[in-house]
Structure 1
């Protein structure tokens, strides 16, 4: 089952996929303008998911949020229930920062984030899944509003799981955690031209040392590692979906010297750019 809705005003998309053998919208994160944020729920059996070339175990009855720049493949897509949406569909909705498109799920954390559902959680998501199916079948003038409300409910439930499972035992200081989110947003905007932590620290009116200390307090990757990861993510996307040369990609990502970029890429991935492209 794959259902799609287009917002009449913004042309934003919402795609709901459930137990589909050949899902049309999975891993469509090439160079298209219509990039989608994804919340994917695995079924009753664990499976593998490859994210940016790295294989992870996707536990049964667990959820992973995926940002639009990530390249991913599910071992068993027919087990997956997924909600995918463009920023034009949901981000125009007035939302508190924690549940916005720039909120906790997609910019509050980096790397693989598997959120486990207990029995009560499975029931909540089962009910929500059925509500989505019913609403997709209800064609009227307020369908978009209802689907946006349901999507917001989904994001709230998933965000609560993230906070419970990843901030457990830590003091949740909203101001500090929002600083991490803002840093991630700035990196996503400026990573092609700004590779130093000092640039982002200045934008946030903090010192690099202060940022590092705050990130460490949340058991988070270092600011420099986050910048590196974002550059590598984009490099992999360009190697996968374009025919640009190593020199052209290096220039696109703010490296004046192709040799410097190649060394940077190999250190991060253990592969030369040419070897990665051959995979």
Structure 2
């Protein structure tokens, strides 16, 4: 474990927080709604509770690793004391969207509307994970040459490990799914959304694509994701909008049109309803070319 509770790295160009690693030993850090403009990893080492994420509740206990993306609303509620380690990093320091091929994490660990926002950490992985965390702490407290590059390397390893665990746990969940027919339906729905979210925005259109009644599709979606089909479609659109706002210099109007919205102001209202910020503020805060090397 860490010998000091907080380590930080500041972006020398703008004075903003670039990277932060800290231990916590009570509920006060995350017991209120968070909407941070950076990525957050939280490893729970002791305690249990309920995580409120977006519009869903998830029970958790020790050896749980949460992964939250910028502006994702979340809070951790617990009647007992929570202990753990948190890592927070800004897009300017490390952009998931730019590095997704290197870490095989294209929408799997972060920003995945289809899966729960955490992974279970087994004992073997926990030991390795804490070795990486100790390495991060040592770099943060040192004045070594190019320590930012060393931190990125440690972070990549940590994200690769978490992504592997997520993939393994998804495979186990699929094997344990009792109703194979429903599993196929859900996979077909995921594929349909991925192929059509830019053009088709209504639940009825996906019911038609899958040759199902809207009621039966809604029931399966609610049962598997604890979300409505409309939520899944809109959240997938928001993920793509964020990528476009971050990675390109397209105008908000252009992005809205490419995502199937003729009215950019209506698109902006939809975006803000899900993220708490406007598309322009999202871009101004963590958008195009911020952190480009």
TM over 0.5: yes
TM-score band w.r.t. shorter chain:
0.5 to 0.7
The match for 1:99 is 103
Alpha-carbon shift at residue 230 of structure 1 (Å): 6.7
The match for 1:71 is 73
* Superposition TM-score, scaled by structure 1 size: 0.58
- Give the 5 Å matches for 1:1-279: 1-8=5-12, 13-19=18-24, 21=26, 23=29, 28-29=34-35, 35-52=37-54, 54-75=56-77, 78-91=82-95, 95-97=99-101, 99=103, 102-168=106-172, 183=194, 195-196=201-202, 209=210, 224-228=230-234, 252-254=268-270
> Which deviates more, 223-232 or 159-168?
223-232
Q: Secondary structure at the match of 1:70?
A: coil
Q: What's the RMSD between the two structures over aligned residues?
A: 4.7
In the aligned structure 1, how far is the partner of 2:52 from the partner of 2:87? 18
In the aligned structure 2, how far is the partner of 1:74 from the partner of 1:139? 34
* Superposition TM-score, scaled by structure 2 size: 0.56
Alpha-carbon shift at residue 229 of structure 1 (Å): 5.1
> Which deviates more, 147-156 or 64-73?
64-73
8 Å Cα contact 1:49-1:72 kept in structure 2: yes
Alpha-carbon shift at residue 164 of structure 1 (Å): 0.4
The match for 1:241 is none
The count of corresponding residues between Structure 1 and Structure 2 is 214
> Which deviates more, 161-170 or 4-13?
4-13
8 Å Cα contact 2:35-2:70 kept in structure 1: yes
Alpha-carbon shift at residue 137 of structure 1 (Å): 0.8
Structure 2 unaligned spans of 5+: 176-186, 212-216, 239-264, 274-293
1:165-187 Cα shifts (integer Å, max 9, x gaps): 0133769xxxx99x96x949x97
Q: Secondary structure at the match of 1:104?
A: coil
In the aligned structure 2, how far is the partner of 1:164 from the partner of 1:38? 22
Q: Compared with structure 1, are the counterparts of its residues 254 and 158 closer, same or farther at alpha carbon in structure 2 (3 Å cutoff)?
A: closer
In the aligned structure 1, how far is the partner of 2:147 from the partner of 2:158? 16
1:45-65 Cα shifts (integer Å, max 9, x gaps): 222222236443222111121
In the aligned structure 2, how far is the partner of 1:93 from the partner of 1:54? 25
